[in-house]
Structure 1
Amino acid sequence: MEKSRVLVVGGTGYIGRRIVKASLAQGHPTFVLMRPEIGLDVDKLQMLLSFKAQGARLVEASLDDHAGLVAAVAQVDVVVSAISGVHLRSHNLLLQHKLVEAIKEAGNVKRFIPSEFGMDPSRMGHALEPGKVTFDEKMELRRAIEEAKIPHTYISANCFAAYFCANLAQMRTVLPPKEIVQVYGDGNVKVIFVDEDDVGTYTIKSVDDPRTLNKTIYLRPNENILTHNEVIAKWEKLSGKVLQKIHIPADKFLASMKDVDFGTQVGIGHFYHIFYEGCLTNFDIKDDEEATLLYPEVQYTNMDEYMKRYV
C-alpha cells in the first residue's frame, strides 16, 4: 500500500521533531511546515535543514496566512499538529483552529492528528482550576474537528519520560534528585510513562491504519505502567544509592498551589490528577484503542533502559 503524504506542523518542537523522524523512518513522503515567523531562530532553521537533508520537503506557510496554509495542506494526505502548548494555551488553540479551517477548505485530508499527546481531555471535565482550561480548550478543538467532519485520530501519550520519570516526578527539575525525593501520597498510584521517540513512532503508525480512524489511541506500554514507588526503586537500583523519602499528603500538595505563578498552579493540578487521583489508569480501554497491542512489532523503550542515560 502506498504510504500517505504527511505534513507535520510544529516539526521543530519537542514532540514534533520526533514525529518528523518517525515519518521519515517509516517511509512516508514527509512535509514539514516552515513558518516565516522563524525569524532569527538559527537552531530551528538548522533543524529544518537537517530534515530536508534526510528527505523531508519544507513547505513555507504562515498559520496566519489562510490561503498559503490551504495550499500547503492540499499537497498532503495526513496532517499532524505538534504545535507547542508550552506558552500561551489560548494562542495554541487559535493556531490549531486556523489549521482546522485550512483542512476543512482544502477538503483532501484523510487524517488529522491534533496536538494533544497527554492526558485524554474527554476524561478531565472534573479537572482542577486553573489547569482545567487546558483540557477545555482541547475539547473545544475536538468539537470543531468533528463538526467539520474531518477524519481524525487523537493520541493520548500519557507522561513523557523526560518530564515525569527521569526526574522521579519531581517538579521544577529534569534531573534525578541526589539525596531526597518527594513521594506523592503513599506512592502506590499507577502512572504511565512513555519514551518520547516512541510517541512519534506510534503516532505515525496510526496515520494509515483504518482501525484508528476517528478514535482515541492510548499509549500504554505494559512495562511502563508503574507506581511512583516503583520508579524510585528502579532509580535506586540503577544508581546504587538509597534516597530519603518524604511523603506529601494530598491536602499539603494542593496547598502548595497558593501564592505561585499560573504555570506552576497548572502543573500542580496536573500532578495531583496523575499521582494522587490516578487519572491515567483508573479507566479501561478496548484492545483496539491501545497502541502497543495494535503494533506489537514496535519495540518500545522501558523505563529501566530510559533512565540508564542519567546514571
Structure 2
Amino acid sequence: MDMKSRVLIVGGTGYIGKRVVKAIIALGHPTYVLFRPQVVSDIDKVQMLLSFKQLGAKLVEASLDDHERLVDVVKQVDVVISAVSGGVVRHQILEQLKLVEAIKEAGNIKRFLPSEFGMDPDVVEHALEPGNITFIDKKKVRRAIEAANIPYTYVSANMFAGFFAGSLAQLQDDVRMMPARDKVLIYGDGNVKGVYVDEDDVGIYIVKSIDDPRTLNKTMYIRPPKNILSQKEVVEIWERLSRLNLEKIYISEDELLNMEDKSYVEKMKRCHLYHFFIRGDLYNFEIGPNATEATKLYPEIKYTTMDSYMKRYV
C-alpha cells in the first residue's frame, strides 16, 4: 500500500484553511500545520491549533520571513498547501512568494497548491479596479511557481456557499451573512450563472487532488453540476425553504458600477459582485485542455447541493 503524502498547510486557521486541515487528517495524510509566532496571542486560533493537534496534526511554528526555518519545515513534507488570506481585508497573496523561494531551495516538494480557491485569475479579462489586485497578485504567484519549475495544482473553487448563498450575495454596505427575510438586491437580471460550493467540500476536493497525476500542473475547477445556479435561483431556493416571498430590488449594471462606495473594502466587494453576477466570469468559459473538473475526477464524493446547504438557515 502506497504511503500517503506528508502535507504542510500554511494558513490552517483561516476560513478555508481549517476545512483543508480537517480534510487532510480525515483522508489519512500525515498533517503539518504551520503557525506564525504572532498567532500565539490569539486565543481562538490557539484553541483551533490545539484541536488540530488532538486530531493528530503536528504543529510547526515558523515565520514566512525566516527563510532558513521555512526551508527546514518544507523539507519535512511532500506537499505544501497554502490557504493564506486573499480577501479584501487581509490580502496576503504575495506573501506566498517567500514560500515559493523556500520550496525552490528545498527541492523536495512534489506538489504545491497556492492560495487560489476563487475565480481563475488567468481567465478574467479587463478586471475592474481595485478588485483586480486579487487577480494581479495571484498571477504573479502562479508565474513565480512556474518559473521555479515547482509541480503545482491551482484550484478554482468559485463561490464559497457561506458568503454567497447564505447571504444571498448581500455583501455591500451592511454585511449580512444570514438570508434576508424581507427584501433582496438582485444584480442585473439575476439570471447569470455562477457556481456555489460548500466549504467543507472544497477541503475534500483539494486534498483528493494532491497525489493525483491527472491534476499535476493543471487548474482544477470545482463545478458541482447541481450548484451551477443564478442568483435568482438561489433566492428561489431560500423562498421555497423559508416559505417567504422576498421583495426583489434590481440593481442594473450601470447602477452597480456607479455606486458611491463608503470605503475601499466596499469598492472591492462591488467589483467582485460585478464579475460574478453581471459578467458571469465564474462560468462564462469552457474548461481548457490544461485544466480539469473536480466532480468528474471524484464522482464518489457526494457534494452538498445548495438546496441541502440552505436548510441550515430555516
TM-score of the two chains, using structure 2 as the length reference: 0.96
2-side partners of 1:85 and 1:50: how far apart? Answer: 24
Q: How far did 1:31 drift? A: 0.6
1:2-46, Cα deviation, whole Å (9 max, x unpaired): 210000000000000000000000000111002212141011111
Q: Tell me, yes or no, if the aligned pair for 2:100 and 2:145 is still in contact at 8 Å.
A: yes
Question: Shift of residue 246 of structure 1?
Answer: 1.0
Instruction: Specify the SS of the correspondent of 1:121.
Output: coil
Structure 1 equivalent of residue 159 of structure 2: 159
Amino-acid identity (%): 60
- Which residue of structure 2 aligns with residue 186 of structure 1? 189
In the comparison of the two structures, how many residue pairs are matched? Answer: 308
Instruction: Give 1:63's aligned residue.
Output: 64
2:237 counterpart residue number: 234
Is 1:214–2:224 an aligned residue pair?
A: no
Q: Is the 8 A contact 1:13 1:83 kept in 2?
A: yes
- Verify the 8 A CA contact 2:130 2:268 in the aligned structure 1: yes
Q: Is the 8 A contact 1:9 1:33 kept in 2?
A: yes
Deviation at 1:93, TM superposition (A): 3.1
CA distance in 2: counterparts of 1:270 and 1:259, whole angstroms? 14
Structure 2 residue corresponding to 1:272, chosen from 271, 274, 299:
274
Displacement after TM superposition at 1:94 (Å): 3.6
Partner in structure 2 of residue 140 of structure 1:
140
Rounded to whole Å, the distance in 1 between the matches of 2:76 and 2:217 is 22
3-state SS of 2:307 partner? helix
Whole-Å Cα distance in 2 between the matches of residues 156 and 24 of structure 1? 22
| 1:285 counterpart = 2:287 | yes
Q: How does 1:76-87 map to 2 (within 5 A)?
A: 76-86=77-87, 87=89
Shift, 1:88, TM fit: 4.2
Give the whole-Å Cα distance in 1 for the aligned partners of 2:304 and 2:258. 35
The 3-state SS of whatever aligns with 2:60 is: strand
Deviation at 1:286, TM superposition (A): 5.1
Q: Which residue number corresponds to residue 31 of structure 1?
A: 32
**AA partner of residue 260 (structure 1):** K
Specify the code of the residue in structure 2 equivalent to 1:268.
R
Matched to 2:69, the amino acid is G
Checking the alignment, whether the CA contact within 8 Å between 2:94 and 2:137 is kept in structure 1 is no
- Alignment match, 1:176: 179
Measure the CA separation in 2 of the matches of 1:185 and 1:131: 19
Give the secondary-structure state (helix, strand or coil) at the position aligned to 1:183. Answer: strand
Contact 2:194–2:276 (Cα < 8 Å) also in 1:
yes
Task: Assess if the C-alpha contact under 8 Å between 2:168 and 2:234 holds in 1.
Answer: yes
* Correspondence for 1:196 among 196, 199, 204: 199
Alignment of 1:103-122 (within 5 A): 103-122=103-122
Distance (Å, rounded) in 1 between the aligned partners of 2:27 and 2:288: 26
Equivalent position of 1:305 in the other structure = 308
The Cα offsets for residues 206-239 of structure 1, whole Å up to 9 and x where unpaired, read as: 0000000000000000000001111111000000
CA distance in 2, matches of 1:74, 1:125: 38
Distance 1:237 1:178 in 2: 12
State the one-letter code of the partner of 2:306: M
Q: How far 1:260 moved relative to its partner?
A: 2.5
Supply the AA of the counterpart residue of 1:12: T
Segments ≥4 residues shifted beyond 2 Å: 85-89
Q: Which whole-Å CA distance do the structure 1 matches of 2:193 and 2:93 have between them?
A: 30
Structure 1 contact 125–132 (Cα < 8 Å) conserved:
no
CA contact (8 A) 1:183 1:247 kept: yes
Structure 1: which 5+ residue stretches go unaligned?
none
Seen in structure 2, the aligned counterparts of structure 1 residues 211 and 248 have a Cα distance that, compared at 3 Å, is: same
Q: Name the aligned partner's letter for residue 137 of structure 1.
A: D
- Equivalent-residue separation in structure 1 for 2:26 and 2:242 (angstroms): 33
CA contact (8 A) 2:84 2:93 kept: no
Q: 2:271 is aligned with what amino acid?
A: G
- Preserved CA contact (<8 Å) 2:85 2:93: no
Cα distance in 2 between the residues matched to 1:93 and 1:167:
25
Given that residues 124 and 132 in structure 1 are in contact (C-alpha distance below 8 angstroms), is that contact kept between their aligned partners in structure 2?
Answer: no
Structural mapping, 1:244-283, within 5 Å: 244-256=247-259, 258-283=260-285
Matching residue's letter, 1:110: K
Distance 1:138 1:123 in 2: 12
